[in-house]
Amino acid sequence: MSPATGAPPLELAAVSASYGKKQVFADVSFAVQSGEVFGLVGLNGAGKTTMIRSILGLRQAAGDIKLFGEPCTEPVARRNLVYLPEKFQPSPQLYGWEYLGIMLAYFGQTIDRDRARTIAAGLDLDPAAIDRKVKTYSKGMGQKLGLVATFLVDSALMILDEPMSGLDPRARVMLKDRLMESKAAGRSVFFSSHILSDIEEICDRIAVLHAGRIIFLGTPRDFVSRLGAQSLERAFLAALEESERAAG
């Protein structure tokens, strides 16, 4: 699980990213603590995926990003995290077990088939589907298989980009239960979402990204209270309006 460095699993300090002359976000700073579920909130196109790709060292960003105290660009920094991209679909020519085997091999681990079946059932994926080729799966089933692999990997930090996307309400509830179990086991979870009901239910803290800036960092409850709103969704809309008025 977590390496014994004492450093936060994830830390950003004054991070900025651009595509050419277009700035995506600027001066972003926050840290994700051990055993914390942290949500990155923003509208579609706000820059959430760009931020995650920057954290993973998949694109250049200015500022300082560290994973377990090491620069994110160093391979050693990424040994203790597992990542699932948005709308993930495994190769259609692989059998479910083949995909899981490849994924676990990246981390020097082997498949515990009984545990894999248990995790699959816990994500509303029929364990028998793992015996079949991915090309027989629906989009939601492919997403669930990716999530099974993510939970199978024994890593201290999970980074998930819009993990609820493509899941039906039952699977979303079951995924939230699995994330809370991971937190109870001491893992840290960093995920992006625009589904605010999910964020409100399971996140210890959130960062709200809008117009290239973090406009709030703290607990969902404090966010709702600060805006005098009745729910996180209402608070989010009020915060966007407040930010846009301040921008002129």
Confidence band (pLDDT; 50, 70, 90) for 246?
confident
State yes or no: pLDDT of 197 exceeds 70. yes
Confidence bin at 248 (pLDDT 50/70/90): low
The percentage of the chain sitting over the pLDDT mark of 90, rounded to a whole number, equals 83
Asked whether the predicted pLDDT for residue 4 surpasses 80, the reply is no
On whether the CB atoms of residues 49 and 127 are closer than 8 A, the answer is no
Domain layout of the chain by residue ranges: 83-154
How large is the average pLDDT for residues 205-222? 96
- How far is CA 32 from its chain centroid? 12
> How much is the pLDDT for 2?
46
Average pLDDT over residues 105-127: 96
- Between β-strands 205-210 and 81-84, what pairing exists: parallel, antiparallel or unpaired? unpaired
Rounded CA-CA distance 184/10 in Å is 18
CA distance 54 to 48: 10
Length of the chain: 248
* Angle in degrees, 0-180, between the axes of helices 96-106 and 139-152, rounded to the nearest 10: 40
Which amino acid does the sequence have at 183?
A: K
Give the pLDDT confidence score for residue 5 in this predicted structure. Answer: 62
Mean pLDDT across the chain, nearest whole number?
Answer: 93
| Average pLDDT, integer, range 174-193 | 95
Per residue in 32-60, pLDDT (tens digit) is 999 999 999 999 889 999 999 999 999 99
Q: With 60 as the cut, is the pLDDT of residue 1 above it?
A: no
Least confident of 110-119, 215-224, 238-247: 238-247
In this prediction, residue 143 has a pLDDT band, given cuts at 50, 70 and 90, of very high
Among candidate residues 67, 49, 74, 135, the one with its CA nearest the CA of residue 99: 135
Least confident of 3-12, 18-27, 99-108, 169-178: 3-12
Please give the average per-residue pLDDT across 168-174, as a whole number: 93
Q: How far apart are CA 217 and CA 209, in angstroms?
A: 9
| pLDDT mean over 199-223 | 95
Q: Which of 49-53, 86-90, 92-96, 126-130 has the lowest mean pLDDT?
A: 86-90
pLDDT number for residue 245: 86
User: CB of 188 within 8 A of CB of 34?
Assistant: yes
The residue-averaged pLDDT of 64-90 equals: 93
